Structure 1
Amino acid sequence: MPSPFTSLRSRLARAGDFGRRKSSALRGLPPLHDLLELTARVGYGARGFVYLSVGLLTLLGAVDFAGDAVSARGALAWLADTPFGRLWMMAVGIGLCAFVMWRVLQSVFDADHQGTSLEGLSQRMAQAFSGSSYAILAFTAFHFMARKPETTKAADVEASRERAQTVMSLPLGDEILMAAGAALFTLGLVTIRRAWHEDFTEYLACSAKTSRRVAPLARAGYVARGLAYLPLAILIILAGWNSRSSQVSSFGSALDAVERQPGGAWVLAAAALGFMAFGVFSFIEARFRRIRPPRDLNPL
């Protein structure tokens, strides 16, 4: 007996076929499987664009050419203030929504066939967390499309401190804040570990020679992402330990603090290059990744 998830996907496919038969406007639309693949590729491209922008702006800040280190939100704010900023935000927002949809298919419906083993479930949980963060970023892009960003880095820091103060006002709030910082620190370490232990070319449909050439881009990107989490995580832990929300900072400000240390500009420049490498690898995934939409909408 087919599961209700299988029936749902079959109904969606039949509805698409019926619409194409009845409407000439819908006749040119590809099948559901191809639409899901296109959605995933657009999503990877949007992710690549965001990371490439973050890396470029951070690199310019590291060499004192323009501004400071920025987060993904900061990069969107900068793009929103450029000519055609609203068009940029619409394109990025739609692309990120496409990537969120693909993350849902990966995490909930196991599009990558990770299974329900402990390792597979942990991978799917990581994909779900990633999807939620990109959903927030997509909302930010649409918000900037409707209303030009007026926030500064100081305002971002103040908003982070207000959220920290809200957490600290709860019962065991200091401990909760410390746990959140520890979780972020652990995420950074896990991301760095993935850089050395994961085969990032496993899902690429390209030659072995091309895979060997692009794998270092993914490893550099994951190392940069993992290291970037650590300064902010430490500040959050210290804020909870000392019961001082004023010690909490934003992602960009935490990287600025790294830059102010001896040799920090070189570290920040290396991180920026890593972000850019991850952006380029995301474009490669948009082109070569094996996209395998689930055959049925069954979480198990």
Structure 2
Amino acid sequence: MSSPDLSRAARQVNDHPATTALARVGYVASGVLHLVLALLVVQVAWFGSTADADQSGALAALSDTPAGGVALWAVAVGFAGLTLWQATEAVGTREGAGARVKAGSKAVMYAALAWSAARFAQGVPSSSSHQSQDLTAQIMSHSGGRVAVAAIGLVVVGVGVYHVHKGWTRGFLRDLRRSPGRAVQAAGRLGYVAKGVALAIVGVLFVTAAWHANPEEAGGLDAALRTLGEQPFGTALLTVVGAGLAAYGVYSFVRARYTRT
């Protein structure tokens, strides 16, 4: 199949109502996951919870609910739908290389989330923090590994800054078919900024791990949030981040309905 034919086929799949419907389920799944994550962050802030305050912790919390298995499979299907939607967008978009890279990166992220949710549904849980540390150790074991880990950290910091900018400037409204109202705009703004701050700290931890040649310092979101909690006024800071993640969850529900297709 030639490149134009492949691009045309990808656009057809991307525009298909079934693909769009699955993507909407994915945004609902994202909303649920962020609300559960927000609750975990608040528990860490106020009660010193030792549960992982990250994606794996949120999936574990879902698995402990009465309908945990069904919920986890629904989350897995939703993120698989977002993976398909972003992958076909990456192949079929006409907006240039930047849009392809952005959509492709999102497809990889959603595929990882779908895989994790499916594994939890099958009774095979995993830890995001341990995975980050193991991956960092593997990369550092090669020549130039520390430079590569530092580069990954800087990219993650950049993604965090992008989220803060997108939230502060209300750039996320371009992802919607119409304005959702002031309350949802406020939720989206707070949600993107809070998520951006958390991601930036994750990136800093990777850079620190590379600097100290210590893979154990390259924790994921849980380590980043606990680092934030150790700062002056840490409880208040974590509470704000928790509120922001909950706000992002609310925005995700709205995006499921009004996302631009």
Q: TM-score, normalised by structure 1?
A: 0.77
Letter aligned with residue 37 of structure 2: V
Q: Deviations over 1:127-151 (max 9, x none)?
A: 32122111111101111111243x5
Total equivalences in the alignment: 258
Kept in 2: contact 1:48–1:278 (CA 8 A): yes
1:102 aligns with 2:85: yes
Structure 1 spans left out of the alignment, 5+ residues: 14-31, 292-300
Query: Which residue number corresponds to residue 186 of structure 2?
Result: 216
Is 1:200 matched with 2:201? no
Please report the TM-score for the alignment, with normalisation by the length of structure 2. 0.87
Matched-pair contact (CA < 8 Å) for 1:90–1:141: yes
> In structure 1, what residue type is equivalent to 2:108?
S
Q: Which has the higher helix share?
A: 2
- Following superposition, the deviation at residue 280 of structure 1 comes to 0.7
**Contact 2:24 / 2:256 at 8 angstroms: preserved in 1?**
yes
The code of the aligned residue for 1:51 comes to H
Out of 116, 136, 155, the position equivalent to 1:183 is 155
Which amino acid in the other structure matches residue 143 of structure 2?
Answer: P
Match of 1:86 in 2: 69
Per-residue CA distance 1:240-296 (angstroms, 9 max, x = gap): 1122223222320221121122101111111111111111111111112232xxxxx
Structure 1 residues 60 and 123: alpha-carbon distance in aligned structure 2, compared to 1, 3 A threshold? farther
Paired residue for 1:29?
Answer: none
Secondary structure in 2 matching 1:262: coil
Gaps of 5+ in 2: none
For the residue of structure 1 that corresponds to 2:173, the secondary structure is coil
What is aligned with 2:200?
A: 230
- Contact 1:68/1:256 (8 A) holds in 2: no
Which of 132, 144, 147 aligns to 2:123? It is: 147
RMSD (CA atoms) = 2.6
CA contact under 8 A between 1:188 and 1:225: conserved in structure 2? yes
Q: Label 1:244 to 1:66 Cα distance change in 2 as closer, same or farther (>3 A).
A: closer
Q: SS at 1:290's partner residue?
A: coil
Do structure 1's residue 132 and structure 2's residue 133 form an aligned pair? no
Return the alpha-carbon distance in structure 2 between the equivalents of residues 59 and 90 of structure 1: 26
Aligned partners of 1:176 and 1:123: how far apart in 2?
24
Distance in 2 (CA, whole Å) between partners of 1:233 and 1:204 is 28
| Larger RCO of the pair (alpha carbons < 8 Å, separation 6+) | 1
What pairs with 1:8-23 in structure 2 (closer than 5 Å)? 8=9
Alignment of 1:281-296 (within 5 A): 281-291=251-261
Q: Distance in 1 between matches of 2:7 and 2:152?
A: 38
How far apart, in 2, do the equivalents of 1:240 and 1:77 lie? 30
Check the 8 A contact 2:54/2:128 in 1, yes or no: no
Is contact 2:6-2:92 (8 Å) kept?
no
1:18 corresponding residue in structure 2: none
SS in 1 for 2:260: coil
Task: Report the alpha carbon displacement of residue 212 of structure 1 after superposing the two structures with TM.
Answer: 3.4
Partner SS state of residue 200, structure 1 = helix
CA shift, 1:34, in A, is: 2.5
SS in 1 for 2:174: coil
The corresponding residue for 2:132 is 160
Secondary structure at the aligned position of 2:82 is classed as helix
For the pair shown, which has the larger CA radius of gyration, 1 or 2? Answer: 1
- 8 A contact 1:70–1:252 mirrored in 2: yes
- 1:11-56, CA deviations, whole angstroms, 9 ceiling, x for partnerless residues? x89xxxxxxxxxxxxxxxxxx8322332222222122111122112
Correspondence for 1:20: none
Kept in 1, the 8 Å contact 2:156–2:199? The answer is yes
